[in-house]
Structure 1
């Protein structure tokens, strides 16, 4: 532990979701005695919602003539200088204050200690570690609950009790180490839960105190990805971490299987902090039409406008990339594939596949035959495939089955099993539902140019 450390024990009240400070209280504590104090209402220059006023008692009239944070910033800097920043759920108070300083172009950095995490370590076994319930369990009186000075004063008494615990010095040293993640982890998440997370691909579940899944994510390295949530200072991430009390996981073996597992889990649990997979992505279609000469074109449009598309993707870039691959494979003309617009003859910087249709050097029927082959190839290429992926261990491999164009699911199979026909894989299949998000994931793998660099094998069923 630092030699003769000084602490500043801090609590802030805010406007709620926007988290502008409405009140701040700081007690400077030398380990034995309070040596200084700074407490002030703060004008947030923002509206205080009624539900926040009901909780804290602070209304818009009370802060109308209070100083802004910019006006008290020097006082906050001075009293916290060369101290350890202490708070109950320290990441919340610390990030709120740091963001206020950031708004006025001042960098704020202090060592941190969290009395929630310290209490869990030094006084284990309590039902709740919220400030109110913890103080009730320890017979600490709080006057003016949910006001900055009242909560900060109670935290000072709690902190004194923590300093007096049998293993306090060892615990404080551990928490203050530069390599320690104790100040980074969510206040209600036991460190052993985080340390047990693997560094392999898979999906992870953030759960609240009641065990309800509130977020599902996927990762190539689960532990590293989970840690990134704790370092992220976006308000959504701060809210997520404040509610997180447990983390579970499932290994996938590969990022692709993790993507599919994540989509299925989100659609099963509908976690409150997952939003992206709840939206229906816009689709774009590649379609065919013939011009006055009878030349067949391949073009791109909004899928809603195309009744019978050749294939759909979820962004225009993937459509263009796929058409480029068809041009190269079937010697098609970039002009008639709409990779070049408003040109009389094609002159694509990458594609030199055209055999002269745009210069009237090739018969229309001959060119159209190749277009038809490209269309047939596209419509049949992904109907029946098995995609092989890396397994969760070195003794197995993963597979994904698409049959008649529908995603059936994924599975894992040991290397020691002899599979003579792909139908036998279905005995090991973890069945899943097909949907537009899964189709988007799989089409990107099967058809985008980037998929050519992936170590996957497709086998006709």
Structure 2
């Protein structure tokens, strides 16, 4: 659990500042579950430049509560939480100073979104909150007021968690909350999980991830882990201390994140490699007569396939449908073995490429249309799918035929502006697994929206 906060102060000499406004949003890693926002009477003068910056003046604070009157609420809302702030050293120091004046030692673990951003979103022109959220396309209102800045920090922190493919933020938070790790009841863990699409992480008592999976119903899938009697499930049941999850909304995003994060984290109960996820591929070659032939074959790592399949049956089904959809020749797609015309030519469903009756140029146009549709080689595009909320969408970025990564957006300009798009995208590895995941998902989901990009 996180307490994401922002504090406005009077300014002045070091450790003599007073709080003029505080906003705290209690965040469970997915949504805000509680909040506290209040002006505070600092019982001291406000520096003129601070008044100009925040708009908060002494008249506004005359009837505001003093810090001792809100101290109990601050302690309660931040209990068992990690404090998160942009430039956390400042906000944490100010809070500790105020509590010290009351004779109370206030201690909480903390995280700084400036430091996290420098690590997870490198090469930004500025890491000030205003300039950083603008570069990331994060909307912000009431800049330099506690509530507006704290809400912007919530949105920034959510993006940073998305970008943290090693899951170090989540693992550290579990280590810092050991109370939740003692004698976990599996039924309580299941009860706390949602029935949504996403990636889940099973942790041991040290916070280490021991298993990563994806599901369209996380609660149901974890229930299966905890009720199965196979050897691996029993070992997981014995070692589990907590289950965290990341909502994705999109099954495609969940598949890509699962593949990437298993490779990054190497959990002990996941298979080390998932190369067996696809076994067959579609290849093309040009014959001596100039016709493009298609061929289903076992995956060969030395060749570049058009697309890949989980088994021979799904590959054969794909080719049979393609023959109908694109009026292709059974002989030139490897389905009908003959030295003469194919069966479809005999029933007038083939134009005769099999017996050199149709010109190669005409036949090849239809084959190339099939290849273009089912391969993203040399393409610049964004695949748009559902997001984690009604007003959000997910984006998978392909640049020059290479999968670059994924992210989430609320506003259309975030994907139409290539600079902003590349910033909100979490970089991910392009490999044969990701290519198979994306291509097979596109085949199964014909209505998925794709946007071709005019690259800079």
Question: Scaled by the length of structure 1, what TM-score is found?
Answer: 0.51
Superimposed CA distance per residue, residues 212-232 of structure 1 (whole angstroms, 9 cap, x where no aligned partner): 211111111111111111221
Question: What SS does the corresponding residue of 1:304 show, helix, strand or coil?
Answer: coil
Task: Kindly indicate whether the alpha-carbon contact (under 8 Å) linking 1:287 and 1:306 is maintained by their aligned counterparts in 2.
Answer: no
2:269 aligned residue: 273
Runs of 5+ unmatched residues, structure 2: 1-181
2:402 aligned residue: 406
1:436 aligned residue: 432
Q: 1:276 to 1:443 in 2, by over 3 A?
A: farther
Task: Kindly indicate whether the alpha-carbon contact (under 8 Å) linking 1:188 and 1:242 is maintained by their aligned counterparts in 2.
Answer: no
| 2:358 equivalent among 335, 357, 362 | 362
| 1:451 equivalent among 404, 420, 445 | 445
Superimposed CA distance per residue, residues 371-423 of structure 1 (whole angstroms, 9 cap, x where no aligned partner): 45555665556732211111111221111111112211111112586654455
| 2:452 equivalent among 443, 447, 460 | 460
CA distance in 1, matches of 2:354, 2:412: 55
2:294 aligned residue: 298
CA distance in 2, matches of 1:380, 1:437: 14
2:392 aligned residue: 396
2:101 aligned residue: none
2:200 aligned residue: 204
Question: Scaled by the length of structure 2, what TM-score is found?
Answer: 0.52
CA distance in 2, matches of 1:292, 1:421: 46
Q: 1:232 to 1:297 in 2, by over 3 A?
A: same
Q: What is the correspondence of 1:211-222 to structure 2 with a 5 Å cutoff?
A: 211-222=207-218
Runs of 5+ unmatched residues, structure 1: 1-185
Task: Kindly indicate whether the alpha-carbon contact (under 8 Å) linking 2:293 and 2:333 is maintained by their aligned counterparts in 1.
Answer: yes
Task: Kindly indicate whether the alpha-carbon contact (under 8 Å) linking 1:188 and 1:243 is maintained by their aligned counterparts in 2.
Answer: no
Equivalent pairs, count: 271
Superimposed CA distance per residue, residues 81-108 of structure 1 (whole angstroms, 9 cap, x where no aligned partner): xxxxxxxxxxxxxxxxxxxxxxxxxxxx
CA distance in 1, matches of 2:377, 2:321: 13
Alignment pair present for 1:335 and 2:327: no
CA distance in 1, matches of 2:278, 2:416: 40
CA distance in 2, matches of 1:353, 1:384: 35
When structure 1 is superposed on structure 2, of 209-218 and 322-331 the one drifting more is 322-331
Q: 1:383 to 1:365 in 2, by over 3 A?
A: closer
CA distance in 2, matches of 1:409, 1:279: 20
1:232 aligned residue: 228
* Larger Cα-atom Rg: 1
Q: 1:319 to 1:293 in 2, by over 3 A?
A: same
Alignment pair present for 1:242 and 2:238: yes
Task: Kindly indicate whether the alpha-carbon contact (under 8 Å) linking 2:377 and 2:400 is maintained by their aligned counterparts in 1.
Answer: no
Q: 1:344 to 1:428 in 2, by over 3 A?
A: same
Structure 1 residue 309, shift from structure 2 partner:
4.4
Task: Kindly indicate whether the alpha-carbon contact (under 8 Å) linking 2:294 and 2:333 is maintained by their aligned counterparts in 1.
Answer: yes
Superimposed CA distance per residue, residues 230-288 of structure 1 (whole angstroms, 9 cap, x where no aligned partner): 22121211121111121111111121111112112211211111117444655544333
Question: What SS does the corresponding residue of 2:300 show, helix, strand or coil?
Answer: helix
Q: 1:253 to 1:374 in 2, by over 3 A?
A: closer
Task: Kindly indicate whether the alpha-carbon contact (under 8 Å) linking 2:395 and 2:408 is maintained by their aligned counterparts in 1.
Answer: yes
When structure 1 is superposed on structure 2, of 191-200 and 242-251 the one drifting more is 191-200
Structure 1 residue 344, shift from structure 2 partner:
3.8
Structure 1 residue 457, shift from structure 2 partner:
0.2
Aligned-pair Cα RMSD in Å: 3.3
CA distance in 2, matches of 1:393, 1:287: 39
Superimposed CA distance per residue, residues 271-325 of structure 1 (whole angstroms, 9 cap, x where no aligned partner): 1111174446555443334555554421122343864544444543444344445
Q: 1:199 to 1:297 in 2, by over 3 A?
A: same
1:385 aligned residue: 381
Task: Kindly indicate whether the alpha-carbon contact (under 8 Å) linking 2:204 and 2:239 is maintained by their aligned counterparts in 1.
Answer: yes
CA distance in 2, matches of 1:426, 1:373: 29
2:341 aligned residue: 345
